[in-house]
Amino acid sequence: MHKFKIVERKDDQFGVQFLYNSEVMMWSESYKQKASAKNCIDSTRKNAPEAPLVDLTKDEEPKGYRFEIVKSKNDQFFVRWVASNGETMMISETYTDKRNAIQCANSVKERSPDAPVEE
């Protein structure tokens, strides 16, 4: 089962995780207010399903809400969920196979609108 989870972080801040069962697929930056974490979830639910998947390893041009496939320093791949203003909202773990990063992005696109939120 896919779900969002709002987690408490140090310094009285909050973060968002997108999980499959107990595995964290993507996580957000830290927010000073829980309302900002909820806004991250709302924005993901609304915008992720139609967001394009942009492969930055192929020099594709990013714009608008999007999922970006990025190559890490150790030649692995990860996903960034990016808002229309260019701000990174969530990132994924790294994957040795680019296909797994693409699958992660597609899971968020398909499952986020109906994913429950755990606080």
Domain 2-114 has CATH 2.30.130.10: no
Spatial strand order of the sheet with 88-92 comes to 53-55, 66-71, 77-82, 88-92, 23-28, 13-20, 2-9, 117-118
Question: How high is the pLDDT of residue 108?
Answer: 97
Cβ-based neighbours of 60, under 8 Å, separated by 6 or more:
54
At 11, list the tokens: 């310094």
Assess contact for 89 and 43: CB atoms under 8 A.
yes
Series of mean pLDDT values for 10-residue runs along the chain (119 residues): 96 97 95 97 97 92 93 96 96 97 97 96
Question: How high is the pLDDT of residue 62?
Answer: 86
Predicted TM-score (pTM) above 0.75: yes
Question: How high is the pLDDT of residue 59?
Answer: 85
The full set of domain ranges for the chain reads 2-114
